[in-house]
Amino acid sequence: MIDELKRIEEQARAELVAAADEASLEAWRVTWLGRKGRLTSVLRGLTDLPIEKRRRMGAAANSLKQALDSALALRQEQVQKERLAIIETGRLDVTLPGRTKRIGRLHPVTQTLRDVLAAFVSMGFSIVEGPEVESDYYNFEALRIGKDHPARDTMDTLYVDITHDGEYDVVMRTHTSPNQVRVMEKTRPPIRVVVPGRCYRNEATDPTHEWMQTQIELLAVDEGISLSDLKGTLYEFAKRIFGQERKVRFRCDYFPFVEPGAEMAIDCMICGGAGCRTCDGEGWIEVLGSGMVHPEILSNMGYDADRYTGFAAGLGIERICMLRYGIEDIRLFYANDLRFLKQF
Ligand code: DAH
């Protein structure tokens, strides 16, 4: 028995010297001195011994326990000191920066899209979506852009390789305007919707043209809607997205599906209207097309065009994003260059 205590002591002390941090010191304590530790089980075994032997062994085991307790305390102190010494002598450079995790972010176009949607939602519009692959009917015909209408030339269309009766009549939508028709077909006034989405055109790319762009279509139809509602709504949008002090200019423009049609421009936020590179010396920057929904379209939808009127607008989100941040080339958005994207 005495031999066993000796062996315990030797092995325990050897392992204690090897324990060099707090976790291994704690593991050592559990192994040797814990409730189920080696020494405790020796003490438990004493009950089977004759009384005389038990007394001697008990005393020896208890003094070993005390010895190991104080050896542990000593070693804990030592380990603590060693750690402080390492820090003080500079062997461990706590000033070395750790490895930072790279955090993702939203694409600048997505950020602008969400901000614009939020502006309209707070004015009472709901968000709906429509298909990116569209029929010729919704993309053109229903919007009064017939087969030989010159407006088709302004939208270099990507046709999908499907024919009906020998005609290619499925397209990648060139704008979000087909959703004016889709929404009116399915619902009755009052209507207030915004429709975000990707649009596609067969563009030769340059600093202001991409073959894919993001648009938001705006549509409100109700009794008594007038041009001043259109202006008020778009004016509020311009102030929220481009700043309180922006001036807004409406000018006549032509789009087959509205009457009258108007383009909206804001005074250039770079030069304040004096004329600069961003605004091409104009002082004004065009941001969207808009107008009063054509009465013929309202009638085609089965609405009483004497009773109901509506306004519509189409916004190019890349354009708005470029103006907001002073980005000079639209192609940067989809070039996937992290040096560009990280700035937003
Ligand atoms: N869809 C047109 C385009 O992409 C923009 C547009 C103009 C939309 C006038 C409208 C509108 O809703 O009223 O060129």
Q: Whose CA is nearest to atom 4 of ligand 1?
A: 175
The pLDDT score that the predictor gives to residue 277 is 80
The pLDDT score that the predictor gives to residue 75 is 92
Query: What backbone torsions phi and psi does residue 37 show, to the nearest 5 degrees?
Result: -75, 175
- What amino acid occupies position 293? V
The pLDDT score that the predictor gives to residue 87 is 81
The pLDDT score that the predictor gives to residue 340 is 96
Query: Strand pairing partners for 164?
Result: 167
Question: In sequence order, what are the residues at sequence separation of 6 or more whose Cβ sits closer than 8 angstroms to the Cβ of residue 11?
Answer: none
The pLDDT score that the predictor gives to residue 166 is 86
180/261 Cα distance (integer angstroms): 15
112/241 Cα distance (integer angstroms): 9
> Ligand 1 pocket: which of 198, 230, 257 to mutate (most atoms <8 Å of CB)?
257
Atom of ligand 1 lying closest to residue 176 CA:
1
Domain 108-341 grouped into CATH 3.40.30.10: no
The pLDDT score that the predictor gives to residue 160 is 94
The CB of 140 under 6 Å from ligand 1? The reply is no
Digit-coded pLDDT (tens) for 289-321? 999 999 999 999 999 999 999 999 999 999 999
Digit-coded pLDDT (tens) for 87-96? 888 777 778 8
Element (H, E) at 215: strand 212-223
209/189 Cα distance (integer angstroms): 36
- What amino acid occupies position 12? A
216/321 Cα distance (integer angstroms): 13
The CB of 217 under 6 Å from ligand 1? The reply is yes
- Rounded to the nearest angstrom, the gap between the alpha carbon of residue 151 and the centroid of all alpha carbons in its chain is 36
183/192 Cα distance (integer angstroms): 10
Task: Tokens 């509205």: give the residue.
Answer: 258
Q: Whose CA is nearest to atom 5 of ligand 1?
A: 314
Measure 62 CA to ligand 1 centroid, in angstroms.
Answer: 93
Q: Mapping DSSP to helix (H, G, I), strand (E, B) and coil, where does residue 48 land?
A: helix
Query: How far does the chain reach from its first CA to its final CA, in angstroms?
Result: 75
Atom of ligand 1 lying closest to residue 219 CA:
12
Atom of ligand 1 lying closest to residue 311 CA:
13
Indicate the length of the chain as a whole number: 344
Atom of ligand 1 lying closest to residue 313 CA:
12
**Burial grade of 193 (CB within 10 A; 0-12, 13-18, 19 or more):** buried
Given a cut of 50, the residues of the chain with pLDDT beneath it are: none
Name the pairing type of β-strands 133-135 and 248-253: unpaired
Please name which of 116, 159, 110 lies closest in space to residue 134, comparing C-alpha atoms. Answer: 159
The pLDDT score that the predictor gives to residue 92 is 75
The pLDDT score that the predictor gives to residue 189 is 96
- Sequence ranges of the domains in the chain: 2-88, 108-341
Asked if residues 285 and 264 have their Cβ atoms less than 8 Å apart, the reply is: no
Query: What backbone torsions phi and psi does residue 107 show, to the nearest 5 degrees?
Result: -60, 145
Tell me which DSSP letter residue 198 carries: E
The pLDDT score that the predictor gives to residue 164 is 83
